Amino acid sequence: SNHLSDRIRNMSTSATLAMAAKARELRNEGKDIIGLSLGEPDFNIPDFIKDAAKQAIDENYSSYTPVDGYAELKTAIANKFKRDNGLDYGAGQIVVSTGAKQSLFNVAMVVLNPGDEVILPAPYWVSYSDIVKLAEGVPVEVPTQIDTDFKMTPEQLEGAITPKTKMLWFSSPCNPSGSVYSVEELEALAEVLKKHPDIYIVSDEIYEHINFAGGHVSIAGIDGMYDRTVTVNGVSKAFAMTGWRIGYIGAPEWIAKGCTKLQGQVTSGANAIAQRAVITALEAPVSKIQFMIDKFHERRDLVLGLLGEIEGFNLNVPEGAFYVFPDISAFFGKTLKGVTINNASDFSLYLLEHANVATVTGEAFGNPNCIRISYAASEAELKEAIARIKAVL
Ligand code: PLP
């Protein structure tokens, strides 16, 4: 392995995928593991979307696709941006990719030069910092705490900006915290950014529909931000289409062009069948997926109620996505069943080995006091998992 490039040796393995692999290993050994570590809806894809994919196969959508996506899909995406976000993106500003993960990687490679700083309000989605580093950018974490619902304040943003700052990346609703920025909060951040016109924004809105507070706000719609924002979205979460691998951006044209150029040399256009199915998914009214959102809402309340009964769990009320991100630092320094808990990784591992419940350490998301628990699981599993957690604490 000492022949591996520095690039890949210095990269961390996705902690969420590593946890899932560890859980799978224990399951293979015969252990009854409840997996609450993955960010993956446990629903089946709605039938009307599956039908569109079957039809696409029969209609022979089998050739290479345009590098930036089928024209009909880009039209559906433009209409979706207008309908749901009030944003006007033309075809030349939209790029379809193999998942929002690729969209994010493209943008990093296209916008960052070596040494450019990228502000990441922490906790942030697990892959942001490694994607930034791969593009030779420098992640600058801005820690936030549970008492501000893990949201970055304008003062914190101002304090993190240096002459080297090139971008700000954040998700709302946030993975892992579930926090949703209000229009007032985004306007306050925009006021700071207006003083620094050379900073670009990645607004990751992949959880936009899984929002229990009502009213998703896109920062691109806020005065002065449109020309400097890349709005990232995809179908993995809201449509339960994680394995279909379709994500997309709406962006300033020069960024979109750069992403298309890069993608043209690396992956070419995204999967043909999946793209055709996504046209149907995006054209459908949001009411078609409301049943999933309602279920997530019920489960959030269930999980908060049950975890709230465990002493040492400090919880806030996440307004979106499908995660809770409790602060468990009250357990640090304690010894349970002979295991000393020094940090969130120890705690998460303890839950896996003694309660047979897989969670993810907050360290992976830039917050060492918390763990992430995904409630994209059935109510029965959630109840059983939390009962087991309570029993071993
Ligand atoms: N952004 C966030 C905040 C996510 O949670 C995820 C998936 O976990 C992604 C992007 C990547 O989504 P995709 O499946 O479209 O690559």
Per-residue burial over 149-167, b if 16 or more Cβ lie within 10 Å, else e, is: bbbbbeebbeebbeeebbb
Length of the chain: 393
- pLDDT value, residue 95: 98
Mutate which of 132, 206, 365 for ligand 1 pocket (most atoms within 8 A of beta carbon) = 206
Helical ranges in the chain per DSSP H: 6-9, 15-28, 47-58, 71-85, 100-111, 128-134, 154-160, 183-194, 253-266, 272-283, 290-307, 344-355, 379-392
* Residue from 314, 311, 318, 309 nearest 375 by CA: 318
Distance 178 CA to ligand 1 centre (A): 13
Cα separation, 192 vs 255, whole angstroms: 23
Cα separation, 236 vs 248, whole angstroms: 11
Is the domain spanning 47-285 CATH 3.40.640.10? The answer is yes
DSSP code per residue over 264-331: HHHT-SPPHHHHHHHHHHHHS-GGGGHHHHHHHHHHHHHHHHHHTTSTT-B-----BTTEE--B-GGG
Distance 335 CA to ligand 1 centre (A): 35
Distance 101 CA to ligand 1 centre (A): 6
Q: Are 375 and 347 in contact (CB under 8 A)?
A: no
User: What dihedral angle (degrees, nearest 10) is formed by the CA atoms of 166, 180, 258, 255?
Assistant: -70
Distance 173 CA to ligand 1 centre (A): 12
Residues of the chain under the 50 pLDDT cut: none
Cα separation, 16 vs 280, whole angstroms: 30
Q: Find how far residue 183's CA is from the centre of its chain.
A: 20
Cα separation, 202 vs 216, whole angstroms: 16
Distance 127 CA to ligand 1 centre (A): 9
Task: Name every residue whose Cβ is closer than 8 Å to that of residue 15 and which is 6 or more positions away in sequence.
Answer: 126, 360, 361, 363, 364
Cα separation, 115 vs 97, whole angstroms: 26
CA distances for 106 relative to 10, 147, 255, 266, 270, angstroms: 20, 34, 9, 10, 13
Predicted ipTM? 0.99
Largest CA distance in the chain: 62
Residue that the structure tokens 């974490």 belong to: 141
Q: Report the relative pairing of strands 371-374 and 360-361 from DSSP bridges.
A: antiparallel
- Ligand 1 atom nearest the C-alpha of 40 is 8
Task: Name every residue whose Cβ is closer than 8 Å to that of residue 228 and which is 6 or more positions away in sequence.
Answer: 193, 197, 199, 200, 201, 252
Distance 242 CA to ligand 1 centre (A): 9
| Cβ count near 115 (within 10 Å) | 10
Residue type, 196: H
pTM of the model: 0.96
Cβ < 6 Å from ligand 1: which residues? 39, 99-101, 125, 171, 175, 204, 206, 234, 236, 242, 247
Domains in the chain: boundaries: 6-44+289-392, 47-285
Mutate which of 175, 208, 216 for ligand 1 pocket (most atoms within 8 A of beta carbon) = 175
Residue type, 111: V
Cα separation, 392 vs 350, whole angstroms: 9
- pLDDT value, residue 10: 86
- Ligand 1 atom nearest the C-alpha of 175 is 3
Distance 77 CA to ligand 1 centre (A): 17
- pLDDT value, residue 1: 67
Task: Domain 6-44+289-392: give its CATH architecture.
Answer: Alpha-Beta Complex (3.90)
Q: Are 44 and 389 in contact (CB under 8 A)?
A: no
Mutate which of 169, 237, 245 for ligand 1 pocket (most atoms within 8 A of beta carbon) = 237
Distance 2 CA to ligand 1 centre (A): 31
- Ligand 1 atom nearest the C-alpha of 16 is 8
